[in-house]
Structure 1
Amino acid sequence: MTAPSAPVIDAEGVGKEFVLRRRTRGLRRAATRVPAVSEVSFTVRPGETVGYLGPNGAGKSTTLKMLVGILTPTAGRLRVAGLEPARQRTELAYRIGVVFGQRTTLWWDLPLRDSFALLRRMYRVPAAEHRARLEELVELLELAPFLATPVRQLSLGQRMRGDLTAALLHDPSLLVLDEPTIGLDVVSKAAVRDFLRRMNAERGTTILLTTHDLGDVERLCRRVMVIDHGRVAFDGDLAGLRALAPVPRTLVVDLAAPAPPIDVPGARVIRTDGPRQWLELAGNPAAVIARVSHDHEIADLTLREPDIEDVVTRLYRERPDPSAPAIAGDVRHNVE
């Protein structure tokens, strides 16, 4: 039997507290400890693509910053690519790639090509390896028309593809992504998702991403973790998460003219605005749509899937005690 490979990420009881100092009387200041992450434990194996989910303020960004060495944990043990991130941050930088959706690692006033050349020297990548890898990434992400364009003149989608290239030029084993598709149009999102799926499938790149976009999770992640009040509340697949916290789909109906609330089996109206009505579905969507179309003159219909915020919020409501242990999904990833 082949021995299992070592985890790319190994977190055991990791916690992070911030100290806030507030003025009380005169020049005196009182220190308050605020926990951002508490007793987070999980492993990520080579080749996994994992979504790390939760609303703003749940502790996602704090966790990522500890994983890449920007922040030092105040409790627990953390290893990434076999290294202690905060203590071995420089060495770790050669083994991981990081993309923050709202920040760029590229040089704002330089052409894209020059940013890539600088990164080659920073990571000490041999010229021949850099050239081959850059050609591959430029082709996959269709960056050739923009290589001579200063970064500040790129569209958001073009810049994001440039940031992905920059993060992968030194061939890291782990790619950490924070909102990689935020603000992108539909075409750019599809290009980024296809590229990430291909990198994982063909090169075995391990991917950990945070996102509020359910499309990212559905198309990329076989495993999701939900962080709740600084703790891992769920670890499993997306189907398991939806089963634990089911959220109804919504049918948006644009009638030809304003009308009383639609009354059909398997749905209830939760909102109206002139000729537009929102129906929460409890039954078969096809049956509801057929009945609505039969009974009313319809201008347009849209079936809306719940986004990840809705699913996570539902999970929070059904798990009021944040100190409770994580809920396991259909697949237990922390047990070999």
Structure 2
Amino acid sequence: MISLESVTKTFVLRKKAGVLRRARSELDAVREISFTVEPGEFVGYLGPNGAGKSTTIKMLTGILTASSGRIRVAGLDPSRKRTELARRLGVVFGQRTTLWWDLPLRDSFTLIRHLYKVEQGLFRERLDELTELLELAPFLDTPVRQLSLGQRMRGDLTAALLHRPELLVLDEPTIGLDVVSKATVRDFLARVNREEGTTILLTTHDLGDIERLCRRVMVIDHGVLAFDGGLDALRATAEADRTLIVDLARPGPAPEPPGVRLIRREGPRLWFALPPNVNPATVIAEVTRTHEVLDLALREPDIEDVVTRLYTNTRIEPGVAR
């Protein structure tokens, strides 16, 4: 569905270097990136601000042209076949809407039907289906400007899926949403991927989205692909600490097993950080040998900690101005 081969995007920068002079330099926003996404995959695309995520998305959708390399989306060159690709692609930008601000939501969908040339019967069937799944019925006749952020996001998702695209590209789709709205959007996206086989590429800073939705994760940092694999492999690569939670029978001096550190205490409940090279079984045996224990729990590292550590461990210098 998506294929990038040694793709680089270079921007020309001009800075004031005197009263009448400007210095010219170049910056690689994306450098020699290669990856493929197969039909039906749900892939998370992560990276800090300025890493190159948005540049990649814009090249995939034909908004930007690569400086070098080869891009194919659904078998098409996005920069040369942008109109044809648009009929097979759905895009949602969390901070920008594709809906008409002053029109009722229903009228926005009608205009989008004409843009994508969707047959009237198919449009009605698809709109009814999406309206039920995303619970849009109560505000179909509400002007977009009066919708809450969560309602507007559901409207944007509907607009992106009305023409049944093969590929859905999402840029921060849950940004600013409350817990209930996030859950609704996540459940919907999982269902679209599972039941319709829609390929989804998700960029987000909300790592809860990644943990709940994505089976594969790519991490980009300073324009270079730093990781591509599953969540378990990501955790193993970053080697973040695990957490051992111990409930003692009674408050007292904390155990001091070798190789770990006490990071938190609330009465008889203790939290220990276990480095990747420490065997949890050894620590548990030592704790239970010296103290009466009511309960134990071992937690894998949070994905947010893992990604933060990955950024730190694989820090790549930004593209050098030249």
TM-score, normalised on structure 2? 0.83
Partner of 1:172: 165
1:150 aligns with 2:143: yes
CA distance in 1, matches of 2:25, 2:245: 47
Q: Which SS does the other structure have where 1:227 is aligned?
A: strand
Give the drift of 1:280. Answer: 3.9
Q: Which SS does the other structure have where 1:312 is aligned?
A: helix
Partner of 1:223: 216
Q: Which SS does the other structure have where 1:98 is aligned?
A: strand
Give the one of 298, 311, 314 matched to 2:309. Answer: 314
1:12 aligns with 2:5: yes
CA distance in 2, matches of 1:263, 1:182: 42
Partner of 1:258: none
Kindly report which structure 2 residues correspond to 1:52-201, keeping only aligned pairs within 5 A, or say none.
52-201=45-194
CA distance in 2, matches of 1:305, 1:183: 27
CA distance in 2, matches of 1:101, 1:263: 47
Task: Could you tell me which runs of 5 or more consecutive residues in structure 2 were left unpaired when the two chains were aligned.
Answer: 247-252, 293-297
Give the drift of 1:318. Answer: 2.9
Instruction: Report if aligned partners of 2:211, 2:303 keep a CA contact under 8 Å in 1.
Output: no
1:26 aligns with 2:19: yes
TM-score, normalised on structure 1? 0.80
1:214 aligns with 2:207: yes
Question: Which stretch shifts more, 83-92 or 141-150?
Answer: 83-92
CA distance in 2, matches of 1:234, 1:195: 27
Give the drift of 1:309. Answer: 4.4
Give the drift of 1:186. Answer: 1.6
Instruction: Report if aligned partners of 1:212, 1:309 keep a CA contact under 8 Å in 2.
Output: no
1:173-231 alpha-carbon deviations (Å, 9 max, x no partner): 00000111111122111111111111111111000011122221122111111112211
Give the drift of 1:26. Answer: 2.3
Q: Percent identity?
A: 70
Give the residue type in structure 1 aligned to 2:217.
V
1:227-285 alpha-carbon deviations (Å, 9 max, x no partner): 122111111101001011022356899xxxxxxx976648535589xxxx986455869
CA distance in 1, matches of 2:242, 2:146: 40
Partner of 1:330: none
Give the residue type in structure 2 aligned to 1:157.
G
Task: Could you tell me which runs of 5 or more consecutive residues in structure 1 were left unpaired when the two chains were aligned.
Answer: 1-7, 254-260, 296-302, 324-336
CA distance in 2, matches of 1:73, 1:189: 33
Q: Number of aligned pairs?
A: 307
Give the drift of 1:308. Answer: 4.2
Give the drift of 1:322. Answer: 6.3
1:56-86 alpha-carbon deviations (Å, 9 max, x no partner): 1111111001101111111101111111112
Partner of 1:326: none
Q: Which SS does the other structure have where 1:167 is aligned?
A: helix
CA distance in 1, matches of 2:94, 2:255: 43
Instruction: Report if aligned partners of 1:50, 1:208 keep a CA contact under 8 Å in 2.
Output: yes
Partner of 2:29: 36
